[in-house]
Amino acid sequence: MATRLSLTTLLMATALSATASAQAPSTAVPVPATTPQAEEAPRPRPTPEQIAAMRARFRANFFTQYDTDRDGVVTRAEYDAVRDGVFRRTDTGHDGALSEAEYVAEFEGRLRATYADKPLDEAFRRAIAQASRRFESIDRDRDLSISRAEYDAVAARTFDRADANKDGRVTAEDASVPHAEPRRN
Ligand SMILES: [Ca+2]
Ligand SMILES: [Ca+2]
Ligand SMILES: [Ca+2]
């Protein structure tokens, strides 16, 4: 439960990109370079409705994941406590930093749980590849390790994004504040 936010966000993104690839030529089929459509096929941008749905889901999952006392307010202390638990659980080598293998394994464990008995598919493989790319984006100094500081920097940005009115707490009020464009890591 404590990790549902990122997973759901990811699955949403995967669903959107699956829509995109359904309309684009398969990359598995070699396409002659002279076919302009193949290179210019644009990725459809999410519609405003899709973006609104993603934001609503982000918010709902934010509360599911971080409002541990279920009082409708996510304090920074609650948030930090959950994040700390995830970090410790992911750091299976207990060296205080996350390797790519640790980071991807933690994600893969959660993703596999959502598949239960279903066979792993292309979306699964794409999601794992995306986890590796997320690792690279969080590893700002590119030392192939996510330090606690790098991890906490992402956590701070995520909280800040949810705390739209910037009062240091995430509540229902934040949902009515116009959103800035989500930052990319
Ligand atoms: Ca709370
Ligand atoms: Ca690093
Ligand atoms: Ca707030």
Q: What is the pLDDT of residues 110-124, one digit of tens each?
A: 999 999 999 999 999
Ligand nearest to the CA of 142: 2
This prediction's pTM: 0.69
Sorted by sequence, the CB contacts under 8 Å of residue 63 that are 6+ apart come out as 72, 74, 170
* Residues in the chain, overall count: 185
Q: Which ligand is nearest to the CA of 75?
A: 1
- For ligand 3, the distance from its centroid to the CA atom of residue 56, given in whole angstroms, is 15
- The pLDDT tens digits of the residues spanning 16-73 come to 444 444 444 444 444 444 444 445 566 788 999 999 899 889 999 999 999 999 999 9
Q: Where are the alpha helices (DSSP H) in the chain?
A: 4-23, 36-40, 48-66, 76-90, 100-115, 122-138, 148-162
Which residues are found with C-beta within 5 Å of the ion, ligand 2? 139, 141, 143, 145, 147
**With 50 as the cut, is the pLDDT of residue 80 above it?**
yes
Spacing, Cα 170 to ligand 2 middle (Å): 28
State how far the alpha carbon of 151 is from the alpha carbons of 6, 41, 107, 182, in Å.
14, 36, 15, 18
Distance 85 CA to ligand 2 centre (A): 19
**Closest ligand (CA of 140):** 2
Beta strands 145-146; 74-75: pairing state: unpaired
Which SS3 state, helix, strand or coil, does residue 146 take?
Answer: strand
Ligand nearest to the CA of 136: 2
What is the C-alpha separation between 83 and 11, in angstroms, rounded?
Answer: 20
Q: Which amino acid is at 150?
A: E
DSSP letter, residue 172: G
What's the mean pLDDT in 2-23?
46
Domains of the chain, each with CATH number or no CATH: 7-19+47-175 (1.10.238.10)
- Ligand 2 center to 136 CA (angstroms): 9
CA of 1 from ligand 3 middle (Å) equals 23
Q: Which ligand is in closest contact with the Cα of 62?
A: 1
